[in-house]
Structure formats: structure tokens, C-alpha cells
Amino acid sequence: MAENQPRGPGEHTVTAAMIVIGNEILSGRVQDKNLNFIATRLNALGIRLTEARVVIDQHDAIVKAVNETRAAYDYVFTSGGIGPTHDDITADSVAAAFCVGIDHNPEAVAILEAHYQPGMLNEARLRMARIPDGAELVENPVSHAPGFRLENVYVFAGIPSIMQAMFESIRHQLIGGAPIQSIQVTSYLPEGVIAGPLGAIQADFPDLDMGSYPFYRGQRFGTTVVFRGTDEADLNAAAEAFRDIVRQNDQEPIDGEVS
């Protein structure tokens, strides 16, 4: 495998990190939607999103986040900061993180020239063709200005519809592990009642991930327990053991969530 290809799965769990770039998320002006999209899609591909960071539009912050995550995880996805304005500094920051140059990429320039009417491709818009040396373009079917991939780092736009389209155009490149399956069991038992027996089930199935998520809805406390893993037989056995706990507490277990 060439050095500049994403690392695929070995014997290990395939992992990923997400970096959301943008002051607007950290000021509270905008509620991020990209993390949840990436999380859900990666899950389906057998890739475990293991960390996410939200960083400000600031060169050093982006360089640090990119370098720390690309060393630690198989894949890194960034969203935001690749438009034409002065605060769009993601491409330059990623180039700096990799210690490579950055310039107008002829392929990207050609995409923009084909898209804009004559005379409309101004200097600011041409900034969107600045791509780090050695990167491969990521297609943008919505607004044309491309994203890019450098080694295991994918750089996407921040607008959710464009980010999602970019993800779909590279999804076939991602190599996951065994699909992660999950079973959810909900009851109106508070966490404090199920905690002991659930801990015992976790001890019996150490390879499964068992998460307990309390909720408080309509003046009632309840808990959804999520069993996640790649072994279906173990998953079913663990979930059934937990349903028995719920029944022993005079409740009927509900498969899935309640809303």
C-alpha cells in the first residue's frame, strides 16, 4: 500500500476522528450537524469514531488537532473552513500540518473554471483551488469547489449538504472492520436499580460494549441500555440476560428506545 493511501484495517479495530472547524459552533450560533452524520455513517461501515474535536478558525489550533489525530487514528475527517473568505484557513493549515506546500491545483482550477460564468471566477473564488501538494481531490457535486484527501485525512466543507455529498463521494474508499451491531433495551427502571446486574452481564461478555443511558421524560426516569459488538450470538445472549433482569423487576423490557 502506497504511503499516501489511508491505512486500512489490520487485525485491529478501525478507528477515526472528526475535527469540526469553526468559531460558529463554539460561539453557540450554530448547532453542529456534521458529527452525528459522520458518526452514523462510520458505524455502518465498521469504523469506530473514537474522538471528535471542535476547534476555532485559528492556524495553530487546526495544525495541532490534525497532527494529533492523524497519528492516533486510521482516518481523520475535517469539516469547515474551505470556502473563499479570509477565515477559510483549513487547506493552508492542513498543508502546514503535513509540512507540504500549497498552491492553486490545476485540476481544481479547471473544475472552478468550468462551473463559473466567464469573469465570475475572481481571486477570492480561486482561493478554493488552493490544495496541498500531493493531495487527491474530493468531488463536490453540490457547489463544485472540491475537498481533498491527504494520506489518511479527508477535508470536507462545513455546510451539511455539501459535507454529506463529499462523504458519499469517497465512502467507497473507506475500509472498515466487522460491522458493529447493536441491540437497545429500554425500561422505566432507573439506572440505580439495573447498575449492579448490568455490571455482572458486562463481566460475562467483556468483548461487548454496554452503555447505559438514563433519560428523564414526562416526569419519569428510565434507562436505555445499548449492547454493541461484532458477535451476534453474544449480543443476543447479553441482551436476553438483561431483559430477564427487567422482568425480575416487574417490568416489561421494550426493544429499542422510547421517545
Closest to its own copies by CB, 134 vs 230, is: 230
Binding track over 146-175 against its own copies, x by CB under 8 A = -------------x-xx-------------
Is-contact 89 97, C-beta < 8 A?
no
Nearest Cα residue to 222 out of 196, 247, 197, 254? 254
Site of grid cell 450470538 = 233
Closest to its own copies by CB, 2 vs 216, is: 216
Closest to its own copies by CB, 5 vs 36, is: 36
d(CA 3, CA 118): 39
Closest to its own copies by CB, 68 vs 136, is: 68
Three-class SS state of 140: coil
CA 154 to chain CA centroid, nearest Å: 11
Three-class SS state of 141: coil
Is-contact 73 42, C-beta < 8 A?
no
Binder among 10, 31, 206, 250 for its own copies (CB under 8 A): 31
Binder among 93, 97, 127, 227 for its own copies (CB under 8 A): 127
Q: Find the shortest distance in angstroms from Cβ 44 to its own copies.
A: 9
Closest to its own copies by CB, 8 vs 84, is: 84
Sign for the CA dihedral angle at 242, 245, 251, 252 comes to positive
For its own copies, which stretch binds (CB under 8 A), given 17-25, 93-101, 102-110, 229-237?
A: 17-25
28 near its own copies, judged by CB under 8 A: yes
Closest to its own copies by CB, 133 vs 257, is: 257
Closest to its own copies by CB, 1 vs 196, is: 196
For its own copies, which stretch binds (CB under 8 A), given 31-39, 97-105, 170-178, 229-237?
A: 31-39
Q: Count residues contacting its own copies (CB under 8 A)?
A: 71
Q: Which of residues 187-226 bind its own copies (CB under 8 A)?
A: 191-196, 198-199, 202, 209-216, 221, 226
Locate all alpha helices (DSSP H) within the chain, ordered by sequence.
Answer: 23-26, 34-44, 59-72, 90-98, 106-115, 123-126, 160-170, 191-204, 232-248
Q: Which of residues 35-74 bind its own copies (CB under 8 A)?
A: 35-43, 48-57, 61
Is-contact 173 153, C-beta < 8 A?
no
Q: Which of residues 96-115 bind its own copies (CB under 8 A)?
A: none
User: Other CB atoms closer than 10 Å to residue 223's CB: what's the count?
Assistant: 21
Is-contact 225 240, C-beta < 8 A?
no
Q: What residues contact residue 21 under an 8 Å CB cut-off, 6+ apart?
A: 54, 55, 56, 57, 62, 78, 79, 80, 81, 90, 158
For its own copies, which stretch binds (CB under 8 A), given 24-32, 146-154, 167-175, 234-242?
A: 24-32
Q: Find the shortest distance in angstroms from Cβ 3 to its own copies.
A: 28
Q: Which of residues 220-239 bind its own copies (CB under 8 A)?
A: 221, 226, 228
